[in-house]
Each structure stands twice: as structure tokens, then as C-alpha cells.
Amino acid sequence: MYKTKEDILLDCPELELTDFGDFKIKDDYVKGYEIIDFHCHLFKGLQNLFPKFLRREIEDMRASFFDKSCYPFCLKLFDINQTTFTRYPSSIKSIDGIKTKYKLQVGGFILRNASVNRLLRDMKLNGIDKSVVMQINPPNNNSSIEMENIVSADESIMTFGSIHPLDSDVQGKIDNYLGLDIKGWKINPHVCGFNVDSSESIDLIKTLEETNMPILSCSGFGVPEDFLATTILTKKQKVELGTQRIKQFYKVLRTVPNATFILAHGGCFEIDELIELMKRFPNTYTDISIQPSNNIKKLIEKIGSERILFGTDYPFVNHAFSIVSVLRATSVDEHLKNIFSRNALRILKL
């Protein structure tokens, strides 16, 4: 249990505090590595998820993302050894439970602070060379032009296009993206409200496979099972939690055996199920955003470092936490180079 951010530094000597209250990796720990963040977000890439009156970017270079994000739920619950780098309260009715519920409801607004300038500054602070920004769009919405302007202005930022299975003109939207500078495709079942193994989703994924570009999907159960038993969910929340369970991807992956398919977030709280799935399907990769070192170590041991991608889920998670997780998972230089950049360079064809 932590009372101050300085207490965290005692357990995490790899980190130091910035003057605006976020954590960063000490320079010596990443010296000599090229690092590609394979999973991050900018406001411009998902502004269509916000109601129109909230579609305004806030650029505050002094804001602490550690304080604003839903992860951790509060300073006391921070734990770099847990998935999402936070412990979950034993009861939603406790003081910590109330804080958790509040953070989960409002933590998404940190995305409005995720400006290009802020991302580039935070990348530099943590020794990250390139970032892949994931676009997310509701049906018949598009963020392609905004993101095209961003990636054309700075070669350290790349992007994946976003197609919704219920778009009225899926092929037309794909063709539009193919005329732009994208490196792959992002689908987002839990945010956009569709089951990854629905017929519409599978039809979309099969169409995306034909472009010969990597496909990334969020994956796994988003909260611990024991925490779920202590809380009351809305009907919408229950639907969202059931859209991307690892078992649903068996049906998906059988239809696209030749696609480079990336299951994001290491399957969240279904890491063991993810590993079994990846053993069955050699065309799969995973990014380790939100995963602690023990789970990354397990992935290395069970499937090898050649199929693991470094990611952060920025701005929800400080870059430094994911870097520490990788560094603590392995000391083998070959593994570190694979995870930090080699695998990404191969998939992105850079």
C-alpha cells in the first residue's frame, strides 16, 4: 500500500518522477534499445466516440496522466505486479470500491488530453522511438483524415485504420484507407458493441485479411472474475464484457489462418487462455500493454519472444510501467530486442 508517489520509487528503482507528477523510465535502462509502442491512442484517432459537445482536445503538458487515468484506481491500489497495474478492491461498496467505480466511469476522459505534442514529449521522456496509434470509430464515422495529417507530419507516429462491421459501405471505407498511410487494421469489439465472433465481424475480418495487412483486436475479459462477483453491472457493461472473450477467437482464427492477427493487451485477465489459443494458431501475436512482468515472462516461456509486441495503451498507462514490466520479465538481450522492436519492424514491414 502506497501513501505517496515517492513510496513507489522505493519499490521501482527503474523509475523516476517528472516535475508534472508522472513516472518515467531512467535513461540508462533503455539505452541501446529501439522501442516501438505498438498500442497507444490519441484523441484525434477516437474523437468520434465522444458526444459532439465533448469533441475538443485539451492540451495540458503539465497534467499528470497517472492521476487522471483509470489505472491505477488510486495511489493506494497501485501495483506494478498486477494486470492494469492496479489492485482491485475486495468490495465495490468499500471506500476503495467507490473510488474504483468512479475512476472507471471518468478515467476515459483522459483521452481528451492525449494530444500529438503530449505523446511526442512523453515518448521522448521514456526512450520510445515510434508509436502506433489505434483508431476507433463507431459505425459510419471516420478519423482517417485527422490521423493522415498527423502521420504525414511526423515519421515517429504510425496508425491503424478502424473499420466497424456495421459500416454501411465497408469496402468503400477500406478502399479509402488503402489510399492513405496506414500500417494495419484495428477492430474494437468491447467499445463498439459487437461480438468478435459474430457473422458480421468475421465477414469483416475475412475482408481485411485480403489486404495483406496486420489485424489487431482488443481481446480478453476486462476485469478479474472475483471482482465481477462483488459489483453490479448495467446491461450495457455486461454486453461489453462478453464481446471478446478468448474462447470466441477460435471461431475467428479458423477463418483467417493466413492473417497476421494480433490479440491486444495479452488477453487482459485471460492470459492462460490466450497462451493456449496462440499455441493452436501460429499466425497470432499479442501486445503486452497493461500486462505485468510475471505474465510477460509466462508468454516468453510458453510461446517465445518472437510473437510478443511491446505496447502501453497510452494514455491510460504511463509508458514507463510497460517498459519496467518487460525489463523485469527477462534479462535475455535477444528477448528484449524482439519484444521492444524487432517483431514490430517485421510485422509493420519497416
Cell representation of residue 209:
485479411
Residue with cell 484525434: 44
Identify the band that residue 212 occupies on the pLDDT scale cut at 50, 70 and 90: very high
For the chain, percent of residues with pLDDT exceeding 90: 85
244-266: per-residue pLDDT in tens?
999 999 999 999 999 999 999 99
Beta bridge partners of 263: 217, 286
- The DSSP symbol for 220 reads S
pLDDT at 241: 72
| Stated pTM of the model | 0.95
Q: From CA 273, how far away is CA 275, in angstroms rounded? A: 5
Cell representation of residue 131:
508509436
Helix (H/G/I), strand (E/B), else coil: 16:
strand
Distances (CA, A) of 318 to 72, 85, 126: 10, 10, 9
Domain 32-68+113-348 sits in which CATH superfamily? Answer: Metal-dependent hydrolases (3.20.20.140)
- Cα 300–chain centre separation: 19
Mean pLDDT of 93-121: 87
Who contacts 221 (Cβ-Cβ below 8 Å, separation ≥6)? 241, 245, 246, 267, 268, 269, 270
Tell how strand 215-218 and strand 185-187 pair up: parallel
Please spell the DSSP secondary structure of 184-224, one letter per residue: -EEE-HHHHT--TTSHHHHHHHHHHHTTT--EEEE-SBSS-
For the chain, give every domain's residue range: 32-68+113-348
Mean pLDDT of 69-94: 90
pLDDT at 90: 77
pLDDT at 168: 95
315 pLDDT higher than 80: yes
Q: From CA 16, how far away is CA 6, in angstroms rounded? A: 9
- Cα 169–chain centre separation: 27
pLDDT at 236: 65
Residue in 164, 115, 112, 125 with CA at minimum distance from that of residue 141: 164
pLDDT at 250: 98
Residue in 15, 2, 4 with CA at minimum distance from that of residue 328: 15
Identify the band that residue 98 occupies on the pLDDT scale cut at 50, 70 and 90: confident
150-207: per-residue pLDDT in tens?
999 999 999 999 999 999 999 999 999 999 999 999 999 988 889 999 999 999 999 9
Higher pLDDT, 190 or 120: 120
Residue 147, number of CB atoms within 10 A of its CB: 27
